[in-house]
Chain A
Amino acid sequence: MMQAVDGNAIAGELFCHFGTEMTEVSGRCTNCGATGPVGRLLVYRSGPGAVARCQECGAVTIVLVQIRGELRVDTGGYEFSHR
C-alpha cells in the first residue's frame, strides 16, 4: 500500500492552478459529506500525478495529472465551500 501524505504536498500544484494558496480552503467530500481544509486530505502520489482522497471515507476528491508538461486538475469529488 502506497503511503499517504497530506494535502500540503499538492499545495504547489494547486497554487499554480488556482493562483492562490489552497491548503487552508475548506471543502466538502461529495461522497460522504465530510468537511475540512484541503490540507487534511490524504494524498497519494504516483508517476504522472497525484490523487487526493477524503480523510474520512477515502473517496477520490481531487485528481492532478501532468500531461505533456501541462497540469490538469479535476476537483469533481470536492465542493469548495468558499474561495
Chain B
Amino acid sequence: VVKVVRETDAVCTLGLEVRDWSGHLAGQHVDVRLTAPDGYQAQRSYSIASGPEDEAVELTVERLVDGEVSPYLVHELHEGDELELRGPIGGYFVWRPELGGPVQLIAGGSGVVPLRSILRHWSAAGSDAPMRLLYSARGWEDVIFREELSRLGSAVQFTLTRSWPEGWTGGRGRIDAEVLSEAAFPPSDDPLVYVCGPTPMVESVAGALVTGGHRPERIRTERFGATGG
C-alpha cells in the first residue's frame, strides 16, 4: 500500500504498488485475500478504480457495516502494509476503445468504481466514442470521486436519492425510466451500456433499459449483491 485516500465517510481508495503486475483492462477487478494470525482466510472481490495508464493500481473500497474484510481495508490499513491480491480478473465488464460507442455508464453508490476506471481509460486513450455517466448516490457527501467527476461537465449526470444540498440543480430520486429518458443515450443510438451497483438497483435499471427499447446484448451488468464484503 503506497497511498490511502479517504473519499467519503465510508469509502477509501488504496493506492497499491503491485509486484509483477501485468497491467489491467478498464472495468476489471481483483480478489483480495486476508489471512488472520490463526490462519483463517477471507477473500473478497474489489473493482479497480484506476485507469490502465495510471501509475499506481487503485482499489476503492466501501466499508460494509457487517463486513468481514472491508472495515479492515477502510480503517486499519496504512501505507507500507501488504495485501495479497489475485488478478486482474474479468473480461466481460470491460471497455476497450475498439468497442467504440456511444457508451452509457450507469452507477449506483460504489458501483461507480469500475466506471471511473473506464472513464480514465477513455480519456487517456483519447477515444472519440461519446461517453456519459449517470450516477446515483444517497447524498452529495456520498458521491465518490466528486471533484474528478464534476470536472467532466455535462458528460456526468448525478442524481441524489435521499438528500441534496441547497440549490441542487441535478437529478433527484432513483434511476428509473424517466431519468433514463432524460439523461441517457436513447435506444436509437444503440449505446453500449455498463450498469454497476447494488443488485436491486442494477436489476431495476437493466429492466427499465430493456423495457425502454435497449437491446439486452448491449447491456453489461455488474451486481454487487449483499455478500457481506
Contact = CB atoms under 8 A, between A and B. Distances in A.
A45 interface: yes
A3 B200 CA distance: 8
Interface string A1-27: 001111111011001100001011000
Interface string B60-79: 00000000000000000000
Top 8 closest pairs, chain A to chain B, by CB = A39-B92, A23-B92, A5-B225, A3-B199, A24-B91, A11-B90, A11-B89, A21-B91
A15 B199 contact: no
Contacts of A8: 29, 90, 92-93, 222
A20 B217 CA distance: 23
A7 B223 contact: no
A11 B27 CA distance: 13
Given A23-B91, A23-B93, A39-B92, 11 more contacts: A3-B225, A4-B199, A7-B92, A11-B29, A11-B90, A12-B45, A15-B89, A21-B91, A23-B92, A37-B92, A38-B92
A39 B45 CA distance: 15
Contacts of B215: none
A38 B93 CA distance: 11
Contact of A39 (B200, B220, B226, B227): B220
Nearest to B200: A3
A21 B89 CA distance: 7
Contacts of B162: none
A64 to B, nearest CB: 13
A15 B199 CA distance: 24
Chain A: number of interface residues, binned into ranges: 20 to 34
A40 interface: yes
Interface residues of B, number: 21
A75 B143 CA distance: 40
Interface in A16-75: 16, 21, 23-24, 36-40, 45
B222 to A, nearest CB: 6
Interface in B184-229: 199-200, 217, 220-227
B86 interface: yes
A49 B128 CA distance: 42
B31 A12 contact: yes
Contacts of A21: 89-91
Interface in B141-172: none
A21 to B, nearest CB: 5
Contacts of B224: 5
A36 B45 CA distance: 23
Q: Which of A3, A4, A37, A45 counts the most chain B CB atoms within 10 A?
A: A3
